[in-house]
Amino acid sequence: MIWIWVIFIVFIFLMLALDLGVFHRKAQVVTFKEAVAWSAVWFALGLAFGVFVYFAYDGQWFGLGSVADPVDGLFNDGPAATEKYLTGYVVEKSLGVDNIFVIAMIFSFFGVPPLYQHRVLFWGILGAMLMRGVMIALGTKLIAEFHWILYFFAAFLILTAIKMMFLKTEDPDLDKNIVVRLTRRLFPVTARFHGEHFIVRAGAPASYENEVPGAPAMPDEVVERARPGTLLLTPMALALVMVETTDLIFAVDSIPAIFAITGDSFLVFTSNVFAILGLRSLYFALAGMVKKFRYLKVALALVLLVVGVKMLLAEWLKLALGRHFNLYLLMAVFVILASGVAGSLLAERRSTAA
């Protein structure tokens, strides 16, 4: 069983190394066309892995599917495992879209030039995978030992859905954010960007507007009070800290959602990873259109609500719909998301025509 984990993790790190070390070795502005192409690549990889899941669980390769799923008590054969993987992938991907809106706000607040946004997201996603791996391992152990905790997750998801639907959120002032304030108190932070570096030494030359295409105007240079050679964080580092913090907050919502579908740690982790990997390119494809999807947040709240209710009524749904009731959940999620996107685009078209 351990070998399938090793192979999968090595594969993911090879893909990330290929991404940053070959295709994005030099800082560059990610175009819409390139972002769509990479989104298609990651989406295709996620679906292709679903094919592997089918045959691996059907043949119990590496011991997969040989242990009952702690959520529904059933053994995952090929079809059941594929349904759970794809449902988890779609749910995690859709919830991650909301994270894109927040990341766009973070980049705008800190004035991160488009030239360097890919690097921030790369390291942000790497950190997100590590954090989620720890949370998934802990969640799997808790569910295996305390099955009642699923009802706690369900209540949490339903309350989160209600909060998303009825509480209006405004763009916060990140200068007042406790994480930003604590980081600035613990570490000296430069006033300017220093290329794509997160950490520099005092006295290093800063990047100016004419050196960074698309960068916002910088304030007059401030003389660093730190001694020459002192390590300093750059605004890029502050943006990365906020991206990681944001993902941790979103993971608290999304991890319980995936446990509503399956408690198989391999299915939970792999669906999460493939959903996260595609978010970076999806950000560059959607960042300029975030305000057009006005009903998407409501759709995402409904997804959380449906998943939470499913978790509460899992035993009844299993009896009423059969062991493949996750397929109906997948279809419901698709319909909700499609309705949210279609409604947003229709409303945008009407407001433009008015």
Q: Tell me the average pLDDT across 63-86.
A: 88
Could you write out the DSSP letters of every residue in 290-306?
GGG-TTHHHHHHHHHHH
Residue 119 lies in a domain: yes
The pLDDT of residue 288 is: 60
Q: Tell me the average pLDDT across 229-235.
A: 79
Tokens of 162: 């209600």
The pLDDT of residue 221 is: 38
pLDDT in tens, 25-37: 666 677 778 888 8
Residue 187 lies in a domain: no
User: Who wins on pLDDT, 317 or 214?
Assistant: 317
Tokens of 180: 């930003």
Would you say residue 233 has pLDDT above 80? yes
Q: How confident is the model at residue 61 (pLDDT cuts 50, 70, 90)?
A: very high
Angle, alpha carbons 284-169-252 (nearest 5°): 70
Nearest C-alpha neighbor of 52 from the set 65, 39, 40? 65
The pLDDT of residue 225 is: 52
| Lowest model confidence (mean pLDDT) among 38-47, 216-225, 279-288 | 216-225
The pLDDT of residue 302 is: 86
Residue 19 lies in a domain: yes
CA distance 51 to 291: 35
Would you say residue 218 has pLDDT above 80? no
Q: Tell me the average pLDDT across 160-166.
A: 79
Q: Tell me the average pLDDT across 91-100.
A: 79
pLDDT in tens, 102-153: 788 788 888 888 888 888 888 888 888 888 888 888 888 887 787 778 788 8
User: Who wins on pLDDT, 183 or 1?
Assistant: 183
Residue 186 lies in a domain: no
Residue 209 lies in a domain: no
* Average pLDDT in the chain: 79
The pTM for the full model equals 0.77
The set of residues, in sequence order, having a beta carbon less than 8 Å from that of 203 and lying 6+ positions away, is 224, 228, 229
Nearest C-alpha neighbor of 88 from the set 273, 260, 271? 271
Q: Tell me the average pLDDT across 333-343.
A: 85
The pLDDT of residue 81 is: 93
The pLDDT of residue 309 is: 83
Q: Tell me the average pLDDT across 44-62.
A: 93
Could you write out the DSSP letters of every residue in 238-291?
HHHHHHHHHHHHHHHHHHHHHHTT---HHHHHHHHHHHHHTHHHHHHHHGGGGG
The tally of domains found in the chain comes to 1
Q: Which amino acid is at 315?
A: E
CA distance 274 to 315: 29
Query: Cβ(341)–Cβ(293) under 8 Å?
Result: yes
Query: Cβ(158)–Cβ(302) under 8 Å?
Result: no
Range of the domain at 109: 2-178+233-353
Query: Cβ(199)–Cβ(230) under 8 Å?
Result: no
Phi, psi of 187 (to 5 degrees): -130, 140
Query: Cβ(255)–Cβ(139) under 8 Å?
Result: yes
Tokens of 324: 């493949």
Residue 184 lies in a domain: no
Cβ atoms within 10 A of the Cβ of 115, count?
A: 21
Query: Cβ(78)–Cβ(55) under 8 Å?
Result: yes
Would you say residue 282 has pLDDT above 90? no
- Burial of 249-259, coded b for 16+ CB within 10 Å and e otherwise, reads ebbebbbbbbb
The pLDDT of residue 78 is: 92
Q: 83-87 — which CB contacts under 8 Å span 24+ positions? A: 83/324, 83/326, 83/327, 83/330, 84/261, 84/262, 84/264, 84/267, 84/326, 85/49, 85/50, 85/53, 85/267, 85/270, 85/271, 86/50, 86/271, 86/330, 87/261, 87/326, 87/327, 87/329, 87/330, 87/333
Question: What is the share, in percent, of the chain residues with pLDDT greater than 70?
Answer: 83
Q: How confident is the model at residue 159 (pLDDT cuts 50, 70, 90)?
A: confident
Question: What is the share, in percent, of the chain residues with pLDDT greater than 90?
Answer: 10
Residue 220 lies in a domain: no
Residue 189 lies in a domain: no
Q: How confident is the model at residue 23 (pLDDT cuts 50, 70, 90)?
A: low
Tokens of 33: 């066309």
Would you say residue 3 has pLDDT above 50? yes
CA distance 9 to 13: 6
